[in-house]
Each structure stands twice: as C-alpha cells, then as structure tokens.
Amino acid sequence: MIKPDFTQAVPADLGTVHFVGIGGSGMSGIARILLGMGHKVTGSDLRDTSNVAALRELGAEIFIGHDAKHLGNPDTVVVTSALWPTNPEYLLAKERGIPVIHRSQALAYLTSKREVIAVAGAHGKTTCTGMIITALLDLGEDPSFVNGGVIAALNASSASGTGNLFVIEADESDGSFLHYDTAVALITNVDADHLDHYGSEEAFEAEFARFAQGAKEFIAISSDDPGAVRVSRLIKDHRVLTFGRADDATVRLFDVDASGARVSFAIEFEGQTYKAQLRVPGEHNAINAAGAFAVLVGLGFDPAKSISGIETFGGTERRFELHGESRGVSVYDDFAHHPTEVSAAIKAARAVVGSGKLITVFQPHLYSRTRLMAKEFAEALSASDQVVVLDIYAAREDPEPGVTGALVSDAFKNQAQVHYVPEWNDVPAVAASLASEGDFIMTMGCGDIYRMVPELLEALEK
C-alpha cells in the first residue's frame, strides 16, 4: 500500500479528475458527486463492477486494468491507501507533476462549505451513516452524503443535496478521518483494528480521541464499548452525548428484541421513552439506531420524528443482503471482516433462519488481520452450523509466509463444522453440499467473496 502524501496541496479547482481504483465504495461516491458538479471524470479499476457501470452511465470514462496509458491528461489524480506503490498510473502522475491527492482530501474538498457529520468506528459506520441520511430525508432535509455502501432505498452511496448538512462515513484505517472540518462526530465503537497501520491499541484509541476533539459542535459516542469508553475519558471541553445500555447514557437503549427478522427496541431520552422497530435484523442494528438518534436529537431534531425517520431505513448493500434462493436455500452476502462484525452478523442471521442451518462461507481479509485474530475469527464463526473458509484476500498487503486461511480453520475447537477450501472454484460445490431446504448460505468478507453468489446459486441448482 502507498503512504498518502497529505502535504500535497489540493487544487482550488480539481478540473478533470482521474481516479485510480474508481470502483471502490468511497471512491465511486466521490466520483459521482464530481460528475454531478460538471467535472470530467476518468478512472480505472481491476474489475467491471456495478459501481463502474453506474458511473459510466453518468458520463465517466473508465478503463479496466491499471496501465500508464489510462492516465490521459487529468488536472488531478485521486488515489486510496490501498494502492500499490508500483501502480503505473500513480507513478506516471507523480513523474509528470500532476497533483495526486488521497480520496479523503477530495472528500474534504467537497465538504468544505457544509456542516459535516462524520461517522467513524471499527464497525457499524456504514449502517449508522445510512440511518442518519435516511432519517434526515424523512425529516424534510436534503443532505449531501458519501457513504461506504449503497443505501438500499436510495440505490446510491452518495448524492449532492441542497441543504447545509453533509454526512460522511469517515475511514479510520489510515488516519484520514482527521482531515475533515467536522461539526458532529459519531463514534460507533473503538474495537482495535488496523494495527498494521497504528502499531498498538493505545495509538488506535489516541487517534479516535484526536478525531473527536476536532468536532466543533458535539460528539456522539458509545457508552458501552470498552474502547469508546476509554476514548471518552480523553475528550476534553466538548459536548458529549453517549448512547447505549449504560444507565447514565444520554440516549439509553433497552428492551431490545432481536429474535426475528426485524429488531425492536426502546430508547429513553430526556425522561421520555420512544419505541421503534427497524426493517433490518440484529441487536447491533438497535445499537446503530441509538447512535443515529443521538446525532439527530443533538442537532435539534424532534425525538419522535427522528426515531420514525430511522425506522424507514431499509439496509445497505452487502449487509445481510439476500441475493436469491435455490432448492429452498437462501443465499445472503455480508461485508463483515472483523471478529466482532462476524459475530454480530451471524447472530442476526440465526434469528432469521429459525430452525434452518446457517452455512457461512468466509473469506479472510488481510494477512496481518488473519495472523493477529485467527483464534477470534474461529470463535465468532463457530456460531454457524457449518463454515467454509477460503484463502486470504490480500488487498493492500504482500503475502506472509505460513499465513493462510488454514490459521482460522485450524483454530476451530470442533473441526467437524469447518472446511478449509483454498481453491475458489471448489467452494460452491462444497457449500451447496452442506445445505438443505430451509437453510441459509451466507458469504462473508470485505474482499471479492460477493462475486461467488451466482456460483453458489448455480451449484445449489445442480
């Protein structure tokens, strides 16, 4: 991965913009807004995805594969930290002296004249961001937004609104969430991750505290997550709203019923109780809703109308997303890629599958994360009935000797429930053979595992 050069000045006018890796959720969202502003946008990506197709329809010129000839003659180049330093488009842009800016700098450029609501956290930030956006629209606001996933009801991950609010998912993986002029900071949790970048849990938490301290208006933060509690102690001279089950939480969550396909709960705020039922399952989504509620009431919106707006949220792409059914077996996909997320996703799926079996097809993401958390992944995944573990999706990392998906499968206490299948083409048949009518198969991971869904449905047919 490249080390972003945040000293690079952002041009006053971005002009023609070339995105290296334009198909990513964050990159495509920024590109969409720039297209709407009248900028010429070009880009490249490794695969011709739905995000790429949507941007092409809006007028972007996009190449598949990375090649120096794809660069063209842009005024500005936008990159992500996940880029390899040998990328030919990146190298040519640097050689030619074209301003190369990180995607967070491009997003900061877009948000510079708006009131920024920045949502950060190890888990739940895409959903929380989606809930805030959906509720604001229901409340009659017209916010701009860039989210890390497509909001189902809007069929978009970004939009340029006419209002003053700009809601963003702020990425903590490389420290870039510090670059926004944040008015309101929402911290869902601070569960240690990205230690390949931060080096230690203490450094990870210190960066979240810096992010919180940068909020000009207020901070909404979990009252329950241990890491968030430690970060709260580092926040000085700021208005802080806490949310969660703690008795002293500003927004207190209670009576959570996550036993079915829709989670219901109650919230106590300023002596009043508000009941809600979401359109999505899982206790974790009740917690996400409490965080979104804290932001809305902190901004001054009516509590009852805010909770009603949150109830209209219908989910985001790649969060327990149903893709189809074959032979009575439902096939879902989920983005979970950290043990805490895996545990929450499986718990939610179990509440929906009922008496059926849950077969999780898991693709580990990053060598460093797999090496550090193999045991935790095994413990979380073992809540499934059967698990198929693939090899690691490397993303921005070079391979590490001896680090494979087998580290996860070998850590299972019950070896009868896990199957390590390193070859992609072998996985669909194995997963299909484990499933019967009424069961769920759920692909899981933030790599390219979602691409296996059609193959699983075909294998079930066979």
Q: What is the pLDDT of residue 319?
A: 78
Task: Let me know: does 99 contact 11? Beta carbons within 8 Å.
Answer: yes
Mean pLDDT of the chain: 91
Task: Let me know: does 294 contact 250? Beta carbons within 8 Å.
Answer: yes
Task: Let me know: does 338 contact 408? Beta carbons within 8 Å.
Answer: no
Q: What is the pLDDT of residue 83?
A: 82
Q: What is the pLDDT of residue 409?
A: 96
Please say if the pLDDT value at position 452 is more than 90: yes
Q: Which of 33-42, 95-104, 192-201, 420-429 has the lowest mean pLDDT?
A: 192-201
Please say if the pLDDT value at position 293 is more than 90: yes
Task: Let me know: does 287 contact 311? Beta carbons within 8 Å.
Answer: no
Task: Let me know: does 90 contact 70? Beta carbons within 8 Å.
Answer: no
Q: What is the pLDDT of residue 192?
A: 67
Give dist(CA 414, CA 378) in Å, integer: 10
Mean pLDDT of 279-291: 93
In sequence order, what are the beta bridge partners of 42? 18, 61
Please say if the pLDDT value at position 442 is more than 70: yes
Residue 331 — pLDDT band, cuts 50, 70, 90?
very high
- Tell me the residue type at 138: D
Q: Which two tokens stand for residue 370?
A: 């797999």
Residue 344 — pLDDT band, cuts 50, 70, 90?
confident
Which residue is associated with the tokens 């009801």? 153
Pairing of strands 272-277, 264-269: antiparallel
Residue 142 — pLDDT band, cuts 50, 70, 90?
very high
Q: What is the pLDDT of residue 85?
A: 86
Q: What is the pLDDT of residue 195?
A: 52
Task: Let me know: does 63 contact 10? Beta carbons within 8 Å.
Answer: no
Q: Note the pLDDT tens digit of each residue in 189-248.
A: 997 654 555 557 788 888 899 999 999 999 999 999 999 999 999 999 899 999 999 999
Q: Note the pLDDT tens digit of each residue in 67-126.
A: 999 999 999 999 987 788 899 999 999 999 999 999 889 999 999 889 999 999 988 889
Residue 275 exposed, middle or buried by CB count within 10 Å (0-12, 13-18, 19+): exposed
Q: What is the pLDDT of residue 446?
A: 84
Percent of the chain with pLDDT over 90: 72
Give dist(CA 122, CA 390) in Å, integer: 23
Domains defined for the chain, CATH in brackets: 17-103 (3.40.50.720), 113-311 (3.40.1190.10), 321-461 (3.90.190.20)
Q: Note the pLDDT tens digit of each residue in 173-188.
A: 666 788 899 999 999 9
* Residues forming the active site: 125-126, 169
Mean pLDDT of 304-315: 94
> Residue 148 belongs to what H/E stretch?
strand 144-151
